[in-house]
Amino acid sequence: MNEALYVVGFDLNDSISQISYVELNENTPKTLAKDGEEQKLGIPTVLCKRNGVGQWYYGNEAVNIAGRGDGTIVTKLLGVARAGGKYEIEGEAYDAADLLVLFVRRTLTELSGLTSPEQVASLVFTVDELDKTTLKLLQKIVETIPVAEERIHFQTYAESSYYYILHQPQELWERDVVIFDYSGKGLHGFQFWVNRRTTPNVGFVDEFEIENVRMPDIMLGDHPSPEQYADFDEDILVKMHEHFNGKSIGTVYLLGNGFEEDWCVKTIRYLCMGRRVFQGRNLYSKGACFFARDKIVPSKLIEDYIFLGRDKLKFNLGMYMRYMGKEEYIAIADGGENWFDCDTTIDMLLDGTKEIRLLITPLDGKDPAELVIELEGLPERPNKASRIRLTVTFLSETSLTATAIDLGFGEIFPSSGLKWEKSLKIG
């Protein structure tokens, strides 16, 4: 039996989902492909219910069965699940969230020939956006798959892009890097840049949209003529000129099936002028792999660079507590971590005080601040005879709520049931 440990990146979207993987002691992630062919990367994000029976198929097999007329295909699983929708098939309603869970479970079985759940050291789901609805959907998936929950993480395409680029040769990101993603939602992308005036260096990924650009088959019909493609190439070229104006961009990545046809000749020629240009489809799932591996086996890059994306805490949170007779700083949450991963609960004994002081240190160099919770009405007790449970819940990357509850001290000093709550927004 292969005892190697793997990390896995799962790009979940409404079109073609991708699974990449890499052993902890290897450098280059691989991506699951149909029949092992590089041009057939990914798994269509669809299910198909066979006519008349409760039998479900996923991915390419689902497409084939539906194409033969032997079943009903279900598409846009993530989008419909986010909207709380259902599918009506043969007179029966199916919850989209349940079908999304089924798709992910079935898709992960494709790793069975490679590894077992016990050998998955980390599994990272990457999606276009991590709003509260999506987080709940992902958590529902986590509860049903055989990988330990503490080994599963979530991130956005922006963060996956950051980790992918960071693990490429450094000469490719000495200047800014742009990723153009031309897929179902149109043409959008990310711009990677680094502030090298700080220690550690801080990396950013800015998201942007190229307005009024849709997929060629949607805009031009199923069989566009060469002239129509040429006109469309001109339109995209103009928008690329506008986007690159005044920017120092050294590398470009082209993602999505919109760039897979040979229609954008002039656009590609322009992009290649003084820049390195790469085309591909599995950047996000590979970036998720790099992130997963760095969490377990930190590289020098992680020491030298910190990512401050949209979902990252913009401050360090901690407090001073007396431990073993000495006052020490206790970290509660670290800046640069995903805010939705940082909820924390701490139990403490009060020693000569009726307040809790939390220290907030912004990462942008601004002065530290304090969040003081006054424990008004707390019963009079001897020192270290009041046990307080502090729970910190993060509402976003810049806001939190701190709740303190009086637990008393055993049977001698029972709990008063008092609770104190205070919220804070940074910036």
Q: What is the pLDDT of residues 243-259, one digit of tens each?
A: 999 999 999 999 988 88
Q: What is the pLDDT of residues 368-378, one digit of tens each?
A: 889 999 999 99
- Coil vs helix vs strand at 371: strand
Provide the strand spans (E) within 242-396: 249-255, 276-280, 305-307, 315-323, 326-333, 344-349, 355-362, 369-374, 387-394
Question: What pLDDT sits at residue 216?
Answer: 62
Percent of the chain whose predicted confidence (pLDDT) is above 70:
96
3-state secondary structure 150-211: HHEEEEEHHHHHHHHHHCCCHHHHCCEEEEEEEECCEEEEEEEEEECCCCCEEEEEEEEECC
Cα(413)–Cα(383) distance, rounded to whole angstroms? 12
- Asked if pLDDT for residue 37 goes beyond 70, the answer is no
Band (pLDDT 50/70/90 cuts) for residue 40 is: low
Question: What pLDDT sits at residue 1?
Answer: 40
Give pTM, 2 decimals: 0.84
Question: Residue 272 has what DSSP assignment?
Answer: T
Band (pLDDT 50/70/90 cuts) for residue 38 is: low
Q: In the predicted model, what is the mean pLDDT of residues 262-282?
A: 91
- Asked if pLDDT for residue 3 goes beyond 70, the answer is no
Closest CA to 157 of 132, 191, 133: 191
Band (pLDDT 50/70/90 cuts) for residue 219 is: low
In a 10 Å sphere around its CB, with 0-12 CB exposed, 13-18 middle and 19+ buried, how is residue 221 labelled?
exposed
Band (pLDDT 50/70/90 cuts) for residue 311 is: confident
Q: What is the pLDDT of residues 353-368, one digit of tens each?
A: 999 999 998 877 788 8
Q: Is the dihedral of CA 65, 70, 76, 77 positive or negative?
A: negative
Closest CA to 375 of 351, 345, 400, 410: 351
Question: What pLDDT sits at residue 221?
Answer: 60
Cα(192)–Cα(158) distance, rounded to whole angstroms? 9
Q: Which of 125-134, 160-169, 217-226, 403-412 has the lowest mean pLDDT?
A: 217-226
- Asked if pLDDT for residue 313 goes beyond 50, the answer is yes
Band (pLDDT 50/70/90 cuts) for residue 199 is: confident
Per the CB < 8 A criterion, the answer to whether 17 and 257 are in contact is no
Cα(16)–Cα(78) distance, rounded to whole angstroms? 11
- Asked if pLDDT for residue 218 goes beyond 70, the answer is no
Angle subtended by helix axes 132-142 and 96-108, to nearest 10 = 50
Which distant-in-sequence residues (6+ apart) come within 8 Å of 169 by Cβ?
A: none
Question: What pLDDT sits at residue 35?
Answer: 63
- Asked if pLDDT for residue 66 goes beyond 60, the answer is yes
Q: Cα dihedral angle (306, 308, 314, 316), rounded to 10 degrees?
A: -20
Closest CA to 255 of 204, 190, 194: 190
Per the CB < 8 A criterion, the answer to whether 157 and 284 are in contact is yes
More confident residue, 51 or 308: 51
Q: How many CB atoms lie within 10 A of CB 254?
A: 23
Q: In the predicted model, what is the mean pLDDT of residues 52-58?
A: 95
Cα(91)–Cα(65) distance, rounded to whole angstroms? 20
Band (pLDDT 50/70/90 cuts) for residue 217 is: low
Q: Cα dihedral angle (85, 208, 33, 1), rounded to 10 degrees?
A: -90
Domains of the chain: 6-155 (3.30.420.40), 160-285 (3.30.420), 315-425 (2.60.34.10)
Closest CA to 389 of 425, 351, 329, 344: 344
Question: What pLDDT sits at residue 244?
Answer: 93
Across the chain, mean pLDDT equals: 90
